[in-house]
Chain A
Amino acid sequence: MAAVMPAPAESRLLMSGNDAVSRAVWEAGVRVAAAYPGTPATEMLEVISTYPDIYAEWSVNEKVSLEVAFGAAMAGSRAFCAMKHVGMNVASDALMTMTLTGVSGGLVIAIADDVGLSSSQNEQDSRYWGRFAHVPVLEPADSQEAHDFTLAAFDLSERFQVPVIVRMTTRICHVKGLVVVGERHEKPVAGFVKDVGRWVMVPGAAGRRLPLMFERENRLRAEAEVSALNVVENGSDRRVGFVTSGPAYMHVRESFPDAPVLKLGFSCPVPFELVRKFAAQCDRLVVVEEVEPLIETELKAQGISVSGKDILPRSGELSPNVLKPAVAGLLGEVLPEVAKVKPMQVFPRPPTMCVACPHLGVYYTLAQMRNVTISGDIGCYTLGFGQPWNALDACISMGASMGMALGLDKGRADSEKDKKVVAVIGDSTFLHMGMQGLLDIVYNRGNVTVLLLDNRAVGMTGGQSNPGTGRGIHGEEAPRVDFASLVKALGVREERVHVVDPYELPTLFKTLRQETKIAEPSVIITNQPCVLVEHYHARKPFKVIDDKCTGCGNCVDVGCPAIHVTRRDKVIKPSGKEVERSFVRIESPACTGCGLCLQPCAPDAIVPVEVLAMPIHVVKKG
């Protein structure tokens, strides 16, 4: 995206938390921002890339993005890095040592926790990193705070020379609210100051920095005690006082308008004295936090008596209808009976792959294979586990398809000697963390067939660019990695590397069958783009000739959402076998003519939509 003129200061804008952080990053005078896409964090770098005066990049993974931001902060620039919760697992190796060196320019890391797992493989509480790495954690509760706390985080980072975590959740990232914005302030850049005792973390130097880190943590706790980000709101109903952080504050305030509340915006290190003073004005304390009982546990260790996860759920999002009955129960109150309306029973509507998605051909083919274990990875193609394909057997983390496949191969049971192991991974995931796994497969002589689905986009998060797309974050031309050369360089033999069009089912099937028979690593690269990216070209749509459709249902197995079953029945074949038939139609306006469904159609009932039946437009070629 190209840079646009930012809205003037003092504007009151409808912004998501991600928008608001991005605006604050620009206002803070940040010069370098880096991220790898991941829901719900993705929009931060997308939006930052539209602001002028900031170098923004999609990095290959979160660890690299944090190292880029850290490098910029070493050079004295203000720097920013954003990631989803699991991204910090990848980046944490860098974090755990940069906490020893500290930073020169302000470094702020926004971590977005997918509380409630709307689009993630697990639910983690990133506030642990604050404790683990001894760095401060700020927790905004809405878009305005996301903006203001990001600015405060840069100030804190420079005053204490420490990376600062802004802990977001899905409800902060994607909730839109009104935000009053400010101006950009350019910060002078000091430049890199050579200091091996600080920047070169060999054991001796690192050991000398440990006490400094703990001393810094004490000063940070003292700062949290007086920080304007921590607010006591007095209340008339003192039976329960609430200690709360992040979006949970809004639910507390809405549920208990008259209760005293200590809102911890600067929640790590926890300001114990402030909590003690607050506790004195309430009969009892309840800690309301998403997700883990972190503040709660630390307060209990200080001898401060609190309730928390003993009455509140340990996972998922909080809300007023969760809080009210829990607190009423604690007080021994009975809430007025509200007739609970049960949701009506409706079929589930799981996410599907898109019409004409190139992955459809891959999973249709994989579904035909027998005696195979399919090691999967993170992306749209994870959906291959579902109906109608049932063609993905495992998925845990970015790039794990490679290592898991090798382990499945090496750890196979005696009874599974002939079982084939296939790994499926997307282009961006491969570049993120899959390359090392493939190298491991090659080096350790694994018997794995890798399907590298190169659709030239980070599809799941909305088609961002990566080193395989040939485009940079602004859509500009960028060096493009050659996957075939790359996997050969990793040691896969040239004869074992194939580039295949995933819409050509016979070729795909033949290649897959051939490679799974050969007991050495092979890589099959599919080469058709994501249908949601700009350079995808739709072709002429298809339709079904009703009279010709025999109801075999082969096309339904492709799994394209444009194919609908119009009628279902059962017939007895001459052999006496009962067969279910599914007669279909194609939703032609949605069809983009990929032709996948044609290939398994036995009676040739699928034909192009008659062009002559449409109004004729004469188009002059210029």
Chain B
Amino acid sequence: MSEITNILVVGTGGQGVMTATEILAEAAIAFGHDVKKTEVAGMAQRGGVVSSHLRFGPKVLSPQITPGTADVLLGFEAAEGMRWRHMLRPDGLALMNTGRLVPPVVDIGLYDYPDDPVAEVRAAGTRVFSFDASAIANELGDIRLGNTVMLGAISDHLPFSADVLEQCILKRFARKKPELIELNRRAFAAGRAAAARAAQTEAV
């Protein structure tokens, strides 16, 4: 099964997790792979947990990633990255947005938000590259660019070139909202640079 790449994309309803995974799937197809993509997204539109599985390779059978076998975990929200760490293989890579979305159950005092999700994942022995994708998206002018920032971040950690992925994103916007192409190009580059910087920090 080593010929199969397992990517797990996680976040909360409304963050664009499923769209991002779909674009990753399109890139894998463009590269000639067989692909399966699946979600656990019960009532996701209502701010719940979303985890999207992407598997690609010469021939994919089961659509679900078995716990402990994900190659890359792309966490759109800090605590969600932590929630799904166990899905990674021991030498897998977690790319984590440090941005937080605090749910009402925390606001009303029933639960606590972890103090530092990135540190906890790292302490558990996982290699983490972390960056504030939400802040990067906001600086670029729109929080909705967050998923393009995240795709930029993962683009150098895939078994195909970052350009293939970028082209898939831009093609999508060319079809639907051409005025957003340039902004997404910048978001992609910013995410890519953020992950590279995080990788350097980690290496030190």
Seen from chain A, the residues whose Cβ lies within 8 Å of a Cβ on chain B are 14, 116-119, 142, 171, 174-178, 247, 250-251, 253-254, 317, 319-321, 338-344, 346-354, 380, 383, 387-388, 460, 462, 532, 556, 559, 561, 563-565, 568, 580, 582, 589
Q: Is the CB of A532 within 8 A of B45?
A: yes
Seen from chain B, the residues whose Cβ lies within 8 Å of a Cβ on chain A are 1, 12-13, 22, 25-26, 29, 34-49, 60-64, 66-68, 79-80, 82-86, 90, 102-114, 117, 120-121, 124, 143
CB-CB under 8 A from B109, the residues of chain A are 565, 568, 580, 582
Q: Is the CB of B46 within 8 A of A344?
A: no
In the complex, how many angstroms separate the beta carbon of A236 from the nearest chain B beta carbon?
18
Task: Across the A-B interface, give the 3 residue pairs with the lowest CB-CB distance, nearest first.
Answer: A351-B46, A118-B42, A347-B111
In the complex, how many angstroms separate the beta carbon of B59 from the nearest chain A beta carbon?
10
| Complex: A338 Cα to B90 Cα, angstroms | 11
Q: Is the CB of B108 within 8 A of A565?
A: yes
Given the known inter-chain contacts A347-B111, A347-B112, A349-B48, please indicate yes or no for A387 contacting B105, CB distance below 8 A.
yes
Q: Is the CB of B47 within 8 A of A175?
A: no
CB nearest to A557 among chain B residues = B108
In the complex, how many angstroms separate the beta carbon of A56 from the nearest chain B beta carbon?
23
Q: Is the CB of A253 within 8 A of B42?
A: no
Given the known inter-chain contacts A250-B62, A347-B79, please indicate yes or no for A175 contacting B37, CB distance below 8 A.
yes
CB nearest to B121 among chain A residues = A344
Q: Is the CB of A341 within 8 A of B86?
A: yes
Given the known inter-chain contacts A177-B63, A321-B67, A460-B43, please indicate yes or no for A344 contacting B38, CB distance below 8 A.
no
CB-CB under 8 A from A561, the residues of chain B are 47, 103-104
CB-CB under 8 A from B106, the residues of chain A are 347, 565
Given the known inter-chain contacts A388-B108, A561-B47, A564-B102, please indicate yes or no for A344 contacting B124, CB distance below 8 A.
yes
CB-CB under 8 A from B47, the residues of chain A are 349, 351-352, 354, 561
Q: List 9 A-B contacts (CB under 8 A).
A: A14-B25, A119-B43, A174-B39, A177-B35, A177-B63, A344-B124, A346-B80, A346-B82, A561-B103
Q: Give chain B's interface secondary structure class.
A: mixed
| Complex: A413 Cα to B9 Cα, angstroms | 52
Q: Is the CB of B66 within 8 A of A319?
A: yes
Given the known inter-chain contacts A343-B86, A347-B113, please indicate yes or no for A175 contacting B63, CB distance below 8 A.
yes
CB-CB under 8 A from B29, the residues of chain A are 14, 178
Q: Is the CB of B42 within 8 A of A351?
A: yes
15 A-B pairs besides A319-B66, A346-B80 with CB distance below 8 A are A116-B40, A142-B36, A176-B38, A177-B35, A247-B63, A250-B63, A341-B67, A346-B79, A346-B83, A349-B103, A354-B47, A383-B46, A388-B108, A556-B108, A589-B143
| Complex: A254 Cα to B63 Cα, angstroms | 10
Q: Is the CB of A563 within 8 A of B41?
A: no
Q: Is the CB of A175 within 8 A of B86?
A: no
Q: Is the CB of B67 within 8 A of A119?
A: no
CB nearest to B102 among chain A residues = A564
Given the known inter-chain contacts A14-B26, A349-B49, A387-B105, please indicate yes or no for A174 contacting B38, CB distance below 8 A.
yes
CB-CB under 8 A from A341, the residues of chain B are 67-68, 85-86
CB nearest to B21 among chain A residues = A176
Q: Is the CB of A175 within 8 A of B38?
A: yes
Q: Is the CB of B34 within 8 A of A352?
A: no
Q: Is the CB of B103 within 8 A of A352?
A: yes
Cβ 8 A contact of B114, one of A250, A346, A354, A460: A346
CB-CB under 8 A from A350, the residues of chain B are 48, 103, 105
| Complex: A175 Cα to B108 Cα, angstroms | 36
CB-CB under 8 A from B104, the residues of chain A are 352, 387-388, 559, 561
Most chain B CB within a 10 A radius of its CB, from A254, A319, A342, A349: A349
| Complex: A117 Cα to B42 Cα, angstroms | 8
| Complex: A351 Cα to B46 Cα, angstroms | 5
Most chain A CB within a 10 A radius of its CB, from B13, B79, B90, B107: B107
Given the known inter-chain contacts A174-B39, A462-B45, please indicate yes or no for A250 contacting B61, CB distance below 8 A.
yes
CB-CB under 8 A from A319, the residues of chain B are 62, 64, 66
CB-CB under 8 A from B44, the residues of chain A are 351
Given the known inter-chain contacts A341-B68, A343-B83, A565-B109, please indicate yes or no for A349 contacting B38, CB distance below 8 A.
no
| Complex: A338 Cα to B61 Cα, angstroms | 22
CB-CB under 8 A from B41, the residues of chain A are 118, 174
CB-CB under 8 A from B120, the residues of chain A are 344
In the complex, how many angstroms separate the beta carbon of A544 from the nearest chain B beta carbon?
13
In the complex, how many angstroms separate the beta carbon of A39 from the nearest chain B beta carbon?
8
Q: Is the CB of A119 within 8 A of B42?
A: yes
| Complex: A350 Cα to B83 Cα, angstroms | 14
| Complex: A294 Cα to B188 Cα, angstroms | 50
Q: Is the CB of A171 within 8 A of B35?
A: no
In the complex, how many angstroms separate the beta carbon of A336 from the nearest chain B beta carbon?
13
CB-CB under 8 A from B62, the residues of chain A are 250-251, 253-254, 319-320
In the complex, how many angstroms separate the beta carbon of A289 from the nearest chain B beta carbon?
16
Most chain B CB within a 10 A radius of its CB, from A174, A177, A321, A344: A344
| Complex: A253 Cα to B41 Cα, angstroms | 25
| Complex: A428 Cα to B36 Cα, angstroms | 34
CB-CB under 8 A from B45, the residues of chain A are 462, 532
Q: Is the CB of A178 within 8 A of B64?
A: no
Given the known inter-chain contacts A349-B47, A532-B45, A565-B109, please indicate yes or no for A175 contacting B85, CB distance below 8 A.
no
Most chain B CB within a 10 A radius of its CB, from A343, A559, A582: A343
CB-CB under 8 A from A254, the residues of chain B are 1, 61-62
| Complex: A278 Cα to B143 Cα, angstroms | 57
In the complex, how many angstroms separate the beta carbon of B29 from the nearest chain A beta carbon?
6
